[in-house]
Amino acid sequence: MTPGSSGYIYSLLYSFQGAGDGSTPSPSSLAIGSDGSVYGTASNGGINYSGTVYKLTPAGSTYIFSVLHAFQGAPSDGAQPNGTPFLTSSGTLYGTTTFGGESGKGATFAVTSSTSGYSERLLYSFNGGKKDVANPEGGVISDSQGNLFGTGQSSGTKNRGGVFKLSAVGAAYKESLLYSFKGGKSDGFGPITALTEDGAGNLYGTTPDGGTYSGGIAFELSPPSSGKKYIETILVMFDTKSGGGVPKGGLLLGAGNVLYGTALEGGTDGVGVAFKVTI
């Protein structure tokens, strides 16, 4: 969408074809490089029908499409990437797949560039159970130390999903379960989107389910002074009857400690809302 003299001009950059390039592009944001290149994931298709990571490179008035990696599925690779790829200043892309990995319960990956092209490696395979999460959909974010943070929609202590951290230990990554959602009326469950981090290391996100009104929550996780567990503060209990509910997108942190987001249900006509939360 390009601003013009009488409004915005729509341009179709690329149409997916399925088997070779990918299909069902992930319903999340794209990553934009400093040169204007666009990066994204397709949850299906590709030569192995397990999804792809792709790039659109500007070339004059058009874009050139290329597949950076076609996933192969369990046990050696991930399958079905659904989140926004996290792009570093060095050009490395980090992300998650909902399935695949050693246990078939999802994985975190990195795609790096070199003079010979792009290559992918698995950083961590999720195992599920009470001490791990499973089936991540939202991708990851990175802090200044290179730690990766994300959410898994299932498993954890109460089998309601959780928030994880991956710390680099040499060439490998060590996973820590920072928080397990409880579900029910007092907490959310089943997070499916990426997190947002502020300058103090607090993490923000949403769950589409749970809470007092069963419409999901917006939450803050604060790092403790010691230990691995983060402290949860519920910012909003969504209620589709009196406001909006079922937030399935992430949160955008704006100036003045304000969070912005959207919810699928509720509002004047019952078909969703945009909201802001002042922290």
Which domain CATH number covers 138?
Answer: 2.40.10.500
- Give the residue from 188, 109, 203 showing the smallest Cα distance to 153: 188
Identify the domain boundary among 125, 148, 173. Answer: 125
Q: Are residue 167 and residue 264 in the same domain, yes or no?
A: yes
Say what the alpha-carbon torsion angle 168, 171, 174, 175 is, to the nearest 10 degrees.
80
Give the domain extent around 94. Answer: 1-125
User: Among 99, 95, 152, which residue's Cα sits nearest to residue 123?
Assistant: 95
Q: What are the angstrom distances between the C-alpha of 41 and each of 4, 44, 95?
A: 29, 9, 9
pLDDT tens track for 175-206? 999 999 999 999 999 999 999 999 999 999 99
The predicted-structure confidence for 216-263, as pLDDT tens digits, reads as follows 999 999 998 776 679 999 999 999 988 899 999 899 999 989 999 999
Considering 63, 97, 125, which residue would you say is the last residue of a domain?
Answer: 125
At residue 227, the pLDDT reads: 64
Rg, the chain, Cα only:
19
Instruction: For residues 168 and 101, state if they share a domain.
Output: no
Same domain flag for 110 and 151: no
Do residues 74 and 152 share a domain?
no
Quote the number of domains for the chain.
2
Same domain assignment for residues 164 and 247: yes
Average pLDDT for 25-36: 90
**68, 98, 125: which is the final residue of a domain?**
125
The whole-number average pLDDT for the span 75-85 is 95
- Same domain (yes/no): 43, 145: no
